[in-house]
């Protein structure tokens, strides 16, 4: 009888355990460019979420703050603007890239030197926090190597 109760309890709890699992976000091709200490830098990567999610914020010990940014046309000029979050539709790759959505590192505490790695923690609405390393490319890089 005890075994039967355990099996019944496990069967009833299985759906709750499945709901409690954190939805995964996959981070692909992270990178940043070389930049001087005290200045600004940008971070780029591709995010995927099978269930859908939202990037809420980012932080790094290498900068005073990290903001989520996008580029917007203001007349004939492209300007960077902070955004509150970046939506990750289910099953769709969302690429943070030059000229589009990106991470903005403000007040660099140290230079981003080519060949080094910059840690950044991404905070998602459903997946929680994920820390990744962004390899530093040359100052004029346009994509990850």
Segments forming the whole domain that contains residue 71: 24-137
Pairing of strands 25-33, 86-88: unpaired
Assess if residue 100 is contained within a domain: yes
Question: CB within 8 A of 85, min separation 6: which ones?
Answer: 54, 55, 56, 68, 125
Assess if residue 84 is contained within a domain: yes
38-59: per-residue pLDDT in tens? 999 999 999 999 999 999 999 9
62-94: per-residue pLDDT in tens? 999 999 999 776 677 767 789 999 999 999 999
Residue 11 confidence (pLDDT):
45
113-144: per-residue pLDDT in tens? 999 999 999 999 999 999 999 999 988 777 76
What is the count of structural domains for the chain? 1
Determine the Cα–Cα distance for residues 61 and 86; give it in Å rounded to an integer.
22
Question: CB within 8 A of 11, min separation 6: which ones?
Answer: none
């Amino acid at each position: 009888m005890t075994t039967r109760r355990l099996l019944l309890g496990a069967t009833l709890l299985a759906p709750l355990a499945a709901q409690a699992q954190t939805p995964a976000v996959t981070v692909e091709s992270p990178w940043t460019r070389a930049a001087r200490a005290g200045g600004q830098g940008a971070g780029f990567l591709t995010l995927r979420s099978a269930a859908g999610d939202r990037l809420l914020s980012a932080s790094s010990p290498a900068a005073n703050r990290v903001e989520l940014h996008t580029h917007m046309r203001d007349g004939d000029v492209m300007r960077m603007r902070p955004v509150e979050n970046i939506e990750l539709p289910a099953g769709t790759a969302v690429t943070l890239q030059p000229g589009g959505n990106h991470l903005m590192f403000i007040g660099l505490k140290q230079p981003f030197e080519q060949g080094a790695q910059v840690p950044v923690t991404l905070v998602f609405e459903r997946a929680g926090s994920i820390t990744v390393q962004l390899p530093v490319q040359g100052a004029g890089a346009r994509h990850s190597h």
